[in-house]
Amino acid sequence: MIRVDKDFALNMFSIDGRTALVTGATGALGGAVAKAYCYQGANVVMTARNEKKLKELEAEFKAEGLSCAIIAGDPAVEEDMKKAVGCAVEKFGELNILAVCHGFNSPKGILEQTPQEWQKILDADLKSVYIACRAAAEQMVAQGKGGKIVVTSSARSKMGMKGYTGYCASKGGCDLMIQSMASDLAPYGINVNTINPTVFRSDLTEWMFDPQSEVYKNFLKRLPIGRLGEVQDFIGLATFLASPASDFLTGGNYDATGGYWAN
């Protein structure tokens, strides 16, 4: 007899009724994840440093009847992340999913970048992830229901690049940190994984999508799939890793590169 539970098979990708906290919600990927989660029936708390942009997002989401809340805060500040987690619990009763989507880079070579500038990247892209994950994990453990932590890392976590000494170090450290964190939190039923994207379309990267540009042509030489990423390509993984379908997966670094790592 084939041992497949029909109910599970029909609902394994569902996050309906769950509560998610999304950091970096005012960014392209964070905003896309937040809206995708809402469309799928989740209650979503959005956090970022820019309160004005958060209020604009809230108005946009609520105009569509989506269940959401906002709270401004810096993911590198422990008290801000505790408040964000507290907001989720206060508004929706619990926290089931954390999607870490914030990030920062300031590309410079080692001879140009000061240690202070390098440290700023490490704090923004590594320390802040630890702080956000720890705040969410404490709440999930207290609830006793498990949970999902989905962290946006980068294709650059495993591939160096000129001018990226801070960014590559932070993302490489992030991947290893998440693997260790997954081991720490597995006994509590909390799955922790990263998504490792290459370039995805946003206001900041739109210039890279010009098919006539040399940057675009050179980039595509390394992408077997033949194009750069769109937000639709990201939200599928973000949903999968937040859903029951990924219950057996933890400590993974999931390729969202269009084949970049393979080529």
Residues identified as active-site: 167
Name every residue whose Cβ is closer than 8 Å to that of residue 248 and which is 6 or more positions away in sequence.
none
**Cβ atoms of residues 260 and 223 within 8 Å:** yes
In angstroms, the CA 105 to CA 84 distance is 24
The count of C-alpha atoms lying within 13 angstroms of the C-alpha of 234, restricted to the half-sphere facing its C-beta, is 30
DSSP β-bridge partners for residue 150: 99, 193
DSSP β-bridge partners for residue 194: 151, 253
End-to-end CA distance of the chain: 41
DSSP β-bridge partners for residue 71: 47
Residue type, 182: A
